[in-house]
Amino acid sequence: MNDSMDGERQRSVGEPPQPSGAARSQSRIAVAPTAARLPDEGHRGTRLLRRVPIAIILFFWLAQFTNLTAMRLMRFPEEGYEPILPRAIVTLCGVGFTFAILAIQRAARLRSFKARAVIAILLAPVGSALHTLTNIGVFRLYFPEIETMLSAYLPAFFDWMWFYTAMSMVILSLTYVADLADNEERIASLQARANAFQLRALRYQLNPHFLFNTLNAIASLITRRKNIEAEAMVVSLSDFLRSTLKIDPGVEITLGEEIALQSLYLDIERSRFPHRLRVSIDVPDQLRDACVPNLILQPLIENAIKHGVAQSSKEVHLEIRAEDLGGRLEVEVRDDGGDAQFASADGANIGLANVAERLRAHFGENAEFAAQRRPEGGFSARISMPLRHAA
């Protein structure tokens, strides 16, 4: 009864500077792809992969125990249910041996795949030998009348060898896949953090010229004893800085909120250019709840002010328009000024690069940004992104 068989304004970002006077020539920036991942989904997937080897080990040993018991009852009904207890003990020992193989392979996760494969191959005969000795020893303990010859060890060892080899290879495959998923999750997490830091750096890249010009304008108003206008400008500047600096750079806001923030900025610029700046905003009500990266329009509007209004001696019309183009949100900032020639537009390049990098961080290849001279005069900057409405 031996059971031994149980078994940019003038150029695209990154291009060399153009000669002066080319500052408002056509420019287009393609937003390159970037990885995107939902952290919660990644964590759930990795945890599931970690549990799969455990489930497979338990399932195979349960199937082995059930199958062998049923087979012995059908082929040798005279044995009855007496061998079930020692068989169960041997099965539990087999579960322990297999979990030990799992633990060893997980401990070798930092090694190369080749080294892990060698370890998996070596663990199979070790597990088979331990299981064979345990199997024969337990059954001799319960049935001492059985004499086990040495010749019975080798057949039992090879019978279990296939099982432990298969289990070791399965465990190797599953642990390796889980480690790959874990590495991908870690890379995605690091990339998300890098994107967050990049967004903060880009978002907090307020143009010092804007602050200097605003403070100079306030000082000029005070010098001319226009205290009411100066106070209103200080309040507008304070409201703008407070509103922008308290927003999390990684959080999207609605287009309506973005327009409200830019209105604070434009109030300051109207105080600086009361007779040269005319603003119109055309944003349909159904698009005001569309999600956009916060302050994404600020560099474009600042560009229009700096190179359109400030460089023109006549009134400049600045327009902000939004459209739904086949399920995509397109926002355009355009002006009809900037006829003067200026020596450098590096500030424009920084602004365009800022917008392009933030779009890349938020949307990857699903966003577009184009900036170009308008045929009728002036300049246009357009952003196209997926249209998503706030919940």
Q: Which amino acid is at 2?
A: N
Is residue 143 classed as helix, strand or coil in its secondary structure?
coil
Report the side by side order of strands in the sheet with 277-282: 27-30, 368-373, 379-386, 328-335, 316-324, 277-282
| CB burial string 50-62: b at 16+ within 10 A, e below | beebeebbeebbe
User: What are the beta bridge partners of residue 373?
Assistant: 379
Q: State the distance between the two ends of the chain, measured CA to CA, in whole angstroms.
A: 70
Domain spans in the chain, listed from the N-terminal domain onward: 27-37+205-248+251-386, 39-194
C-alpha 130/C-alpha 110 separation (Å) is: 27
Summarised one tens digit per residue, pLDDT across range 44-58 is 556 666 788 888 889
Report whether 276 contacts 314 (CB < 8 A).
yes
**Average pLDDT of the residues of the chain:** 78
Q: What is the DSSP string of 331-386?
A: EEEEES---S--S--HHHHHHHHHHHHHHHHHHGGG-EEEEEE-TTSSEEEEEEEE
pTM above 0.75, yes or no: no
Report whether 27 contacts 352 (CB < 8 A).
yes
Q: Read off the DSSP letter of residue 246.
A: T
Confidence band (pLDDT; 50, 70, 90) for 26? very low
Most confident range (mean pLDDT) of 53-67, 131-145, 196-210 is: 53-67
Confidence band (pLDDT; 50, 70, 90) for 76? confident
Report whether 161 contacts 125 (CB < 8 A).
yes
Alpha-helix runs per DSSP H in 76-112: 84-107
Confidence band (pLDDT; 50, 70, 90) for 95? very high
Summarised one tens digit per residue, pLDDT across range 193-235 is 666 655 555 555 555 666 777 888 888 889 888 888 888 888 8
Structure tokens at 212: 């200097």
- The residue behind tokens 């590495």 is 183
Going by C-alpha positions, the residue among 310, 326, 386, 382 that lies closest to residue 352 is 382
CA distance readout (Å), 221 to 151, 216, 277: 107, 9, 18
Summarised one tens digit per residue, pLDDT across range 350-367 is 677 778 888 887 888 889
Read off the pLDDT of each residue in 131-155 and give the average, rounded to a whole number. Answer: 77
pLDDT for the residue numbered 31:
40
pLDDT for the residue numbered 22:
40
Summarised one tens digit per residue, pLDDT across range 281-332 is 999 999 999 999 888 898 899 889 888 888 888 899 999 999 999 999 999 9
Summarised one tens digit per residue, pLDDT across range 152-161 is 677 888 888 9
CATH class of 27-37+205-248+251-386: alpha beta
Is residue 47 classed as helix, strand or coil in its secondary structure?
helix
Structure tokens at 369: 């940004």
User: Is the pLDDT assigned to residue 118 strictly greater than 50?
Assistant: yes
